[in-house]
Amino acid sequence: MLATYKAVLKNNRLEWSGGAPILPSPREAVSVHVTILNDQIVAPKEIAQGKRMAAALEKLAAVQSLTEIADPVAWQREIRRDRALPDRDE
């Protein structure tokens, strides 16, 4: 059975995502089959946006901004509860 490893092809080089394969010799050439996943190509703009989002979430966690919520499940039910829309009779 063939081993499968995740990687990103960048500038004609594979950058391993997660565990890299253990090779007999780092300088030895190894045959590979590469499948390009067109639907999973991530633009640099999206990568930068994800990093900014992660940084914002880390800041929220550091200041413990949601510690006043005693029961998260009850809070979520309350937030998602249907409400009457403004200026509508229904």
Distance CA 37, CA 30 (A): 21
Domain-wise residue ranges, the chain:
7-80
Distance CA 43, CA 24 (A): 34
Residue 88 pLDDT exceeds 70: yes
Residue 67 pLDDT exceeds 90: no
Mean pLDDT of 4-13: 87
Q: Which residues pair with 16 in a beta bridge?
A: 7
- Residue range 25-55, pLDDT digits in tens: 777 788 888 888 876 666 777 788 889 999 9
Taking the complete model, does pTM exceed 0.95, yes or no? Answer: no
What's the token pair of residue 69? 């919520």
Instruction: Report the chain's mean pLDDT, rounded to a whole number.
Output: 83
Distance CA 27, CA 76 (A): 54
Distance CA 38, CA 89 (A): 49
Mean pLDDT of 6-21: 85
